[in-house]
């Protein structure tokens, strides 16, 4: 099975900050890497699919990139509604594992 790791596990940031979250796959996942935002009590939300494609309706401040088995989610200018937990997921090979998550909270 493909293992996904994320760093950091949590971070504190201020509105307006640039935030970067990294995800690493234990083996190739090609570009079958997706990013989700999850707020407590709500359904998760797809942000980025295919490593770098922005899901419809998602603000352009969210971007995804890849370099081999390393993937990055960047929030260019953090907004109040962006405080949440972010997960990467590979859908290259079943089981379609999630990373452990990165919690972004208010500094």
Calpha distance 88→107 (Å, rounded): 23
Distance of CA 76 to the CA centre of its chain: 13
8 lies in the binding site for another protein (CB under 8 A): no
CB of 1 to another protein, least distance (A): 6
Residues in region 22-81 near another protein by CB under 8 A: 32, 34, 36, 38, 42-46, 49-50, 55
User: Which two tokens mark 49?
Assistant: 């699919």
92 lies in the binding site for another protein (CB under 8 A): yes
Distance of CA 29 to the CA centre of its chain: 15
**Phi and psi for 42 in degrees, rounded to 5?**
-120, 165
Please state whether 50 falls in left (phi above 0), alpha (psi between -120 and 50) or beta: left
Candidate ranges 10-18, 20-28, 70-78, 98-106; the one touching another protein (CB under 8 A): 98-106
Candidate ranges 20-28, 66-74, 75-83, 85-93; the one touching another protein (CB under 8 A): 85-93
Q: Write out the residues near another protein by the rule CB under 8 A.
A: 1, 32, 34, 36, 38, 42-46, 49-50, 55, 85, 87, 89, 91-92, 94-101
């Amino acid at each position: 099975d493909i293992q996904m790791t994320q760093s950091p596990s949590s971070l504190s940031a201020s509105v307006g900050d640039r935030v970067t979250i990294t995800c690493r796959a234990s083996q190739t996942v090609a570009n079958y890497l997706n990013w989700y935002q999850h707020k407590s009590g709500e359904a998760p939300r797809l942000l980025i699919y295919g490593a770098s494609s922005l899901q419809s309706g998602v603000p352009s401040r969210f971007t995804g990139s890849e370099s081999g088995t390393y993937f990055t989610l960047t929030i260019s200018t953090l907004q109040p509604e962006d405080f949440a937990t972010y997960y990467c997921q590979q859908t290259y090979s079943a089981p379609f594992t999630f990373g452990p998550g990165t919690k972004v909270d208010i500094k």
